Copies of this chain bind each other. A is one copy, B any other.
Amino acid sequence: MQPLQNDRLIKALLREPVDVTPVWMMRQAGRYLPEYRKIRKQAGSFMSLCTNPELACEVTLQPVDRFPLDAAILFSDILTIPDAMGLGLYFADGEGPRFKNPVRTSADVKALGNPDPETELRYVMDAIRLIRKELDNRIPLIGFAGSPWTLATYMVEGSSTKTFSYVKRMLYNEPALLHQMLNTVSRSVTAYLNAQISAGAQVVMIFDTWGGVLTPDDYAEFSLRYMQKIVGGLAREQDGQKVPVILFTKGGCQWLEDMADTGADALGIDWSTDLAMARKRVGDRVALQGNLDPATLYADPDIIYGKVGKVLKQYGTGSGHVFNLGHGINPDVNPENVAAMINAVHQISERYHI
């Protein structure tokens, strides 16, 4: 095994000393990049981009080639698992994801199988193997999956939603049925992430995009509980290297202590919480990833520099911080502002790692 040329991300996630704070961005391979939009257009649909390992590899590497990022993240979608379960994922133009066959009844839930990652989802594993080869150990590759609750919201609703009417009706009226479904999905997510690790993912992240729409009790019962099961079922070491796990619940900053108790190595933090406060609350149990307001990237480079400095100062001295946005980068951001942010992180953070 050739060692990583840049292992800042792994070290920071494990709270080991680093020279400067590592930085990457959620959705860094995406629409704000003209070179992405070009490939996306050639591919035709979003899913034909995801399911083509060569193209997925190409767009994964685009931001890495352009900016001095400390990590690559697999270009894919959290809905690959429900698609492989036979729900029929498609993207209506400008309307977000949809499923032809939403899961609404007891029979629907019973019919859900557990797709085999190396057959039904082989395109993801092939993409990972290809990206690892192309990266050639320059920086680590992050794999990811959606949380069971987040996947369930899409699977039950059949589309994006503002009201969560179907899935919440199931949660309140038929909690046992929802638990059955979440158990099935959790098994699939665990197998999927372990397959990603075997294929070469050096870090994995669980995205709980919709945990924040739950009450505190329902979050514990229907979202966090299943993420904890997954964390407990993951291969945390591969080829003698530790594989850190990051947990991110958007809007979940009231529950950081409970998230830290899952055994994850790091927590994603959105921009509604001060990092100093978050660090105080979780102590030395986990590393923290975040949390610049994504809208900061609409500002001028000198303003961005100042705001990056503020986030770094809030976290303070020592390792255990991975710089990121508090949510995915917006599609209408100027790539030059991304460069300004990344340079600011590396430049300013030196003083916090002596």
What is the distance, in angstroms, from A126's C-beta to the closest C-beta of chain B? 33
Could you tell me the distance in whole angstroms from the C-beta of A185 to the nearest C-beta in chain B?
20
Q: A127-149 interface mask toward B, CB cutoff 8 Å, 1 = contact, 0 = none? A: 00000000000000000000000
Q: Is the CB of A299 within 8 A of B172?
A: yes
Looking at chain A's contact residues, the main secondary structure is helix
**Nearest B residue (CB) for A306:** B172
Q: A274 near B: Cβ within 8 Å? A: yes
A251-B251, A272-B216 as given contacts; A165 in contact with B303, CB under 8 Å: no
Pair A295/B168 contact, Cβ less than 8 Å:
yes
A209-220: contact bitstring with B at CB < 8 Å (1 yes, 0 no)?
000101111100
B168 in contact with A298 (CB, 8 Å): yes
**Known contacts A169-B299, A330-B165: A216-B274 contact under CB 8 Å:** yes
Least CB distance, A28 to chain B, in whole angstroms: 17
* Integer count of this chain's copies in the complex: 2
Question: B-facing mask of A325-354, CB < 8 A → 1, else 0?
Answer: 000001010000000000000000000000
Does B216 contact A172, Cβ atoms closer than 8 Å? no
Q: Does A254 contact B (CB under 8 A)?
A: yes
A7 at the interface (CB under 8 A from B): no
Task: List B contacts of A307 (CB < 8 A).
Answer: 172
Q: Could you say which residues of chain B place their CB within 8 Å of the CB of A277?
A: 216
The distance from the CB of A160 to the nearest CB of chain B, in whole angstroms, is: 11
Set of chain B residues within 8 Å of A271, measured between Cβ atoms: 215
Q: Chain B residue with minimal CB distance to A255?
A: B272
- Complexed CA–CA distance, A76 and B196 (Å): 53
Hey, which chain B residues are within 8 Å of A298, CB to CB? 165, 168-169, 172-173
User: A2 within 8 Å of B by Cβ?
Assistant: no
Q: A163-B332, A254-B253, A293-B215 are in contact. Are A173 and B299 (CB under 8 A)?
A: yes
Structural contact, A295 and B332, CB atoms closer than 8 A: no
In the complex, whether A296 has a CB less than 8 A from a CB of chain B is: yes
Cα(A164)–Cα(B332), bound, Å? 11
Shortest C-beta distance, A309 to chain B (Å), equals 13
B254 near A254: Cβ-Cβ < 8 Å: yes
Q: For window 199-251 of chain A, which residues contact chain B by CB distance below 8 Å?
A: 212, 214-218, 251
Query: Is the beta-carbon distance between B172 and A295 smaller than 8 angstroms?
Result: yes
A273 within 8 A of B: yes
Question: A172 to B303, Cβ gap below 8 A?
Answer: yes
Does A257 make an interface contact (CB < 8 A)? no
9 CB-based A-B contacts, threshold 8 Å? A168-B295, A168-B298, A168-B299, A169-B299, A172-B296, A172-B307, A216-B273, A216-B274, A251-B272
Give 10 nearest A-B pairs by CB, closest first: A168-B295, A172-B299, A169-B298, A163-B330, A216-B274, A215-B271, A172-B303, A173-B299, A165-B298, A215-B293
